[in-house]
Amino acid sequence: MTLNSLFNAAVKIVTKDNVVAVISDTPLNTLSSGIYNGGYKKVNAILNVSVPDSYNDEYLHYDPMNLIYDAQKKLQVTTDFVAMLTAAKIQNLSITTRQVGDVEIVAIATAGWRHGESAGEDIKNGHYVPGTINIMVILAANPTDSCLVGLFLTATEAKTAAMNDYDIRSRYSGDAATGTVTDSLSVAATGVGEKIEFGGPASSVGQLVGSAVRQVVKEAADKQEGQHKGRTLARRLSEQHMSIDYLAAEISKLQIFGNKETVISTLEICLPTNSVYAAFLLAAVKLDDDFKKGLIPNEFGDVVSLSKCFGCLLLDQKFVENLPNFSEVTLPPFTKCAVVAILQSFLSKTC
């Protein structure tokens, strides 16, 4: 694929086997976090190399460069280049372009976010899972160095915005994800045209980059992992570390609804067949997410009392207050009262 006339046919996008590359006849001013030759450089090519399924975590860690050198040979890249690695499949990439005036940009992404994280949380090393969000942004423009940095930040924000659009969660904490543990980004410019000073999200070029990156990240992730809109309640709960199995293990401590397996069976019957119950539980989990972050408005009063009143939307409050072992259930307050209310409401209708 050759980019259109604003690039003077000097820049092309090439895909071959497990590699997608941007190759330019003239050096591109590039800012990259790529594993090979990252930093601020002038390069003629930017490679995004997919890791084969046969690679395990340890092998990749000790020999990452072998894949890069193989990709270099495949594309016959002999000049300076930047390279990034991804576990996402190259065939699942997404490409889009944007243009305003004499400025054109192209954004390319491969994306998987099953190893999502929330920057600043405590991250423990875990087994390798397919993922990584890798982004390449190429501009037919002449941004200053500081503008290039601004565009790098804008593209990063757009990536996180794309994850927020789908409510993607950290696999470590269940918090809203900001990226994955192995993301990489390269922003490059031809250096042709009038100087551009600003690359923040409110600048004209920043808006191009932001909207393009936000689009391609979501499209690539949908190709890699399947459609994210409308995913099941069970999946949404698991993503927030509130799986049916975990909820049942805690609620079974009350004993009145049976053992863990019985509670699981009941929830698996009532939630898929009653969308009001399902919506009620999802709303409770979202409220507890706000509670965890201290975002419940102060004027709402005591959260424990509020959560019981919330449960009363389906259930008499006296029932909740008189439950034995209620304090032993360690679920967050809104979720705890919601699950109790759902089970009691469902069982009272079926008995």
Average pLDDT estimate for 49-57: 73
**Whether residue 152 has pLDDT greater than 80:** yes
Tell me the per-residue pLDDT of 92-118, one tens digit each, with 9 for 90 and over: 999 999 998 889 999 999 999 888 999
Residues 41 and 186 in one domain: yes
Domain boundary among 225, 258, 284: 225
| Mean pLDDT of all residues belonging to the chain | 90
Q: What is the pLDDT of residues 58-88, one digit of tens each?
A: 555 556 788 888 889 989 888 799 999 998 9
Specify whether 171 is located in the same domain as 317.
no
Same domain (yes/no): 124, 251: no
333-346: per-residue pLDDT in tens?
999 999 999 999 99
**Do residues 34 and 19 touch, judged by C-beta distance below 8 A?**
no
Residues 307, 277 contacting (CB under 8 angstroms): no
- Considering the domain architecture, whether residues 31 and 156 belong to the same structural domain is answered as yes
- What CATH number is attached to the domain comprising 68? 3.60.70
CA distances from 155 to 40, 108, 211, 222 (A): 16, 11, 9, 19
pLDDT of 53 higher than 80: no
Residue 328 pLDDT exceeds 70: yes
Same domain, 212 and 147: yes
Residue 55 — pLDDT band, cuts 50, 70, 90?
low
Last residue of a domain, one of 162, 195, 225: 225
Q: Within this chain, do residues 34 and 113 fall inside the same structural domain, yes or no?
A: yes
Above 80 in pLDDT, residue 284?
yes
Last residue of a domain, one of 225, 256, 289: 225
> What does pTM read for this prediction?
0.91
**C-alpha pair distances (Å), 196 with each of 80, 310, 340:** 25, 53, 59
Q: What is the mean pLDDT of residues 181-209?
A: 95
**What span, in angstroms and rounded, lies between the C-alpha atoms of 30 and 77?**
17
24 and 148 assigned to the same domain: yes
CB 180 within 8 A of CB 128: no
Residue 96's pLDDT is what?
96
Residues 22 and 145 in one domain: yes
Strands (DSSP E) contained in 114-249 are 116-117, 131-140, 142-143, 179-180, 184-189, 195-196
Cβ neighbours, 10 Å, residue 113: 27
Q: Does 197 share its domain with 237?
A: no
Q: Which structural domain range is residue 287 located in?
A: 233-350
Cα torsion 21, 49, 163, 292: sign: negative
pLDDT surpasses 70 at 130: no
Structure tokens at 170: 């950290």
What is residue 219's predicted lDDT score, i.e. its pLDDT? 98
Q: Strand pairing partners for 15?
A: 20
pLDDT digit string, tens, across residues 224-239: 999 999 999 999 999 9
**Same domain (yes/no): 107, 196:** yes
Whether 81 and 176 map to the same domain: the answer is yes
CB-CB contact of 121 with 175 (8 Å): yes
> Domains in the chain: how many in total?
2
Flag whether pLDDT at 276 surpasses 70: yes
Residues 262 and 164 in one domain: no
